[in-house]
Every structure is written in C-alpha cells, then in structure tokens.
Structure 1
Amino acid sequence: MIKPQRDLTLRFLAEPQDVNFGGKVHGGAVMKWIDLAAYACSAGWSSCYCVTAYAGGIQFVAPIHVGNLVEVDAKVIYTGNSSMHIALEVNACDPKSLNRRLTTHCIVIMVAVDESGHPVTIPQWEPVTEADKKQHETAIKLMEMRKQIKGEMQIYTQ
C-alpha cells in the first residue's frame, strides 16, 4: 500500500489575466489557487475525490505581481472521519531573484466523498514532530471557534 501524501506545493507564474483593477493579482485568483492546492493535497492524502467544506482565516499579507513565481504549500494538519484540515501558505517572488515572501495563508477543510457525494472514511494522520503537534492542537482550537462563529452567524441566515 502506498503511504498517503501529506503535503504538496503547486508552482506557477502569475499571469496577466490574474490581475485586478489595482494592477496586482486578484484575491479571487489567489483563493482559486488555494482551493486547487487544498484539493490536490486532500486527494493525495485520502485517495478520494474531495470537496471544500470550509475556507477560513484567510489573510492577504502582501500583493502578488504579474510574472511572480507563486508557490502554494498545502499540508494536512488534522483528520476527522472523512474531513481533512489543510494549512495553506502562498509565497511569491520574482523568478530572477527567488527572494520568496509570504503573501497569503489560511485553513481549508476538505471532505472525501464517494461517487454519490457521501462522506467516506479516510486514513488518520497523527502528529509526530513538535511543530505537527502544535498545528494539530491549533486545528482543534479553531474547530471550537468555528462552532461559536456559526452560532453568531445565525442572525444572517434567517
């Protein structure tokens, strides 16, 4: 049996069609790249088709320019029965200098599903290093915070 893939990096160049009216890469384009990396990471871990259940805590730290080399790093930091919490970090640089800078980071929760769209059981991930344990604990804390936020957001769904 092949060991599940816990992390991956997508690399590409930011293109002119990705630019917003301000001349920088559009936040929506960055969010699309994040979703693509989260899918590839979760599919690699679960060996299943996966759907996005949640994206949150997205922080746009610095702009991305057309022609920048963009790297979207994704890694599993928590697993449930069918869900995976994926930590994502987007870095960019001028490909001539390779001085990478953080541009965006967030958490995405993906769920493995079967052909009918029903959740399926996935391999469990256990943290080993101290960094892994800290990220795992943070994912658990964030789950509790999302429950509180969901309750507060009820006012907008009525």
Structure 2
Amino acid sequence: MDVNFGGKVHGGAVMKWIDQAGYACAVGWSGSYCVTVYVGGIRFLKPVLIGHMVEVKARVIHTGRTSMHIAVDVRAGDPRGGERTHTTHCVIIFVAVNDKGETVPVPSWTPETEEDRSQEQYAKRLMELRKSIDDEMRQHLG
C-alpha cells in the first residue's frame, strides 16, 4: 500500500511519518496535546526505496507563545550497510491545546549551539516567507 507506481515508497506515506514524528516531538516538548497548523515546503530530495531502513528525526527549532516549529528530516538506506541518504526535509508548526481545544503556552526553546541558532534563524526566515504566501493564498480562497 505504500508503494507508488514507480516502485518507490509513496510520498504520502513519507508525509505521514513526518507528521507522526513531528507530533511526537511537539508533545514531548510541550507536555500537551498538539495540532498541526502548518506544513510548509516539504522537500523530497531523493526517493525512499522499498526495503530500505528509514530514520525520521524531528527537533524543535523555534517556539512562540503557543507554537513550536519542528524540523523533520528523513534519511534512508540499505539495511545491509552503508550510510543513510537524506531523502526528505520539512518544517511543521504545531500548536499546543488543552482539552477544550484552546491554545496553551509552551516552554520556550533557547538555542544553545551555533547550529541551533542557525536553525532558529531559518525558522524565522520561513515565517516571513509564509506571510507573503498566506497573503497570496488568501486572495484565492473562497
């Protein structure tokens, strides 16, 4: 069911894994139930081949008052050896909510390393780009 017409893992299956890993990361960080509010720029760099081992890593790269930007990377490779290849990347924004569905504050994330600071700047640049994308999309929504 996860095989596409080209004999590779279907992109929809990879997207599901990304959302699941991102959700687990967001819940682990916030300690609250979380909902996906934005998935932007999923970049399929290389296909995931059938039979390959897949590694999905998610990490917090920026927090707002109630939101978390989670970077998710997928790597895959032959289980008989060799390294895993970077196949997919995206950033997902989750919001923490309570039992009534109301947003709740999340712990602040503070970058500690140069890589962390770079990732946070990346998240902030994406936020700026999203504003112009949102404006454009709003013009075409019914």
Within 5 A, what are the aligned runs for 1:1-158?
Answer: 17-158=1-142
**Within 2, Cα distance between the matches of 1:28 and 1:109?**
18
Q: Tell me the TM-score normalised to structure 2 length.
A: 0.97
> RMSD over aligned Cα, in angstroms?
0.9
TM superposition shift of 1:18? 1.2
Q: Give the AA of the match of 2:79.
A: P
Amino acid at match of 1:112: A
| Residue identity in the other structure for 2:45 | V
Query: Residue deviations 1:40-97, cap 9 Å, x none?
Result: 0000000111110000111101111121100011000000111000001000011111
**Structure 2 unaligned residues grouped into runs of 5+:** none
Give the partner amino acid of 1:58. I
Count the aligned residue pairs: 142
By how many angstroms is 1:128 displaced? 1.1
Distance in 1 between residues matched to 2:53 and 2:80, nearest whole Å:
9
Distance (Å, rounded) in 2 between the aligned partners of 1:120 and 1:70: 33
Give the counterpart letter for 1:148 in structure 2: S
Q: Secondary structure at the match of 2:108?
A: coil
The TM-score, its normalising length taken from structure 1, stands at 0.87
